[in-house]
Amino acid sequence: MEQTYIMIKPDGVQRGLVGEIIGRFERRGFILKGMKLLTVDKSLAEKHYADLSTKPFFQKLVNYIVSGPVVAMVWEGKNVVTTGRKLIGATNPCESAPGTIRGDFAIDMGRNVIHGSDAVESAKKEIALWFPEGIAEWQSCIRSWVYE
Ligand code: UDP
Ligand code: MG
């Protein structure tokens, strides 16, 4: 089953949106496979966003991610990478539709509350980077009520 890396960024934690965000993924039918709250050091933030290292906003982005604790999660389900991105909304919250997480809770791009992997391959890399210890092995008993 497909997995994605979802991270509630420091603003989402500070603003008390952790339960709200987890609830949206849970209610959709996705399964929580890994979760931890951690403060991020600069080198981990830089590795996570390595693809963006040449962008003018890179330093600001790294400072944002290390500015407070984040909630790192692995969510599992059919098409969870793409559907997770849809739940999250567009990168720029001004362009995120109402009903999406960013569309409901954010305004600025540098305070957009949540990260989600953009492809199955990057999800694998990000899960390995953030959960080197591995993730929980469990089967949800709601599976047959969500999938036909
Ligand atoms: N970002 C920013 N300014 C920009 C583009 C991106 O501050 O012009 C930040 C924003 O927080 C975004 C993150 O950098 O979520 C990673 O950018 P990406 O293009 O990967 O967007 P995402 O995948 O998070 O939607
Ligand atoms: Mg991205």
- pLDDT at residue 92, as a whole number: 98
In a domain, 57, yes or no: yes
* H or E element that contains 83: helix 80-88
In a domain, 75, yes or no: yes
What is the spatial distance between Cα 5 and Cα 129, in angstroms, rounded to a whole number?
10
Active-site positions read 115
- Number of structural domains the chain divides into: 1
What is the spatial distance between Cα 76 and Cα 109, in angstroms, rounded to a whole number?
26
**CB–CB of 70/37 below 8 Å?**
yes
| CATH code, 99 | 3.30.70.141
- pLDDT at residue 118, as a whole number: 98
What is the spatial distance between Cα 35 and Cα 73, in angstroms, rounded to a whole number?
4
Measured CA distances, 66 to 11, 32, 142 (Å): 11, 24, 36
In a domain, 91, yes or no: yes
In a domain, 147, yes or no: no
Query: pLDDT tens digits, residue range 16-49?
Result: 999 999 999 999 999 999 999 999 999 999 999 9
In a domain, 144, yes or no: no
In a domain, 10, yes or no: yes
Q: What ipTM was predicted for this assembly?
A: 0.98
- pLDDT at residue 20, as a whole number: 98
Task: Please give the model's pTM, rounded to 2 decimal places.
Answer: 0.97
What is the spatial distance between Cα 141 and Cα 146, in angstroms, rounded to a whole number?
10
The whole domain housing 110 covers 3-135
**What's the rounded mean pLDDT across residues 130-139?**
95
Query: pLDDT tens digits, residue range 102-112?
Result: 999 999 999 99
Ligand number nearest to the C-alpha of 53: 1
Ligand 1 pocket, mutate which of 49, 51, 61 (most atoms under 8 A from CB):
61
Q: Please state the atom number of ligand 1 nearest to the C-alpha of residue 115.
A: 24
Query: pLDDT tens digits, residue range 69-98?
Result: 999 999 999 999 999 999 999 999 999 999
In a domain, 117, yes or no: yes
**CB–CB of 82/116 below 8 Å?**
no
In a domain, 141, yes or no: no
- pLDDT at residue 18, as a whole number: 98
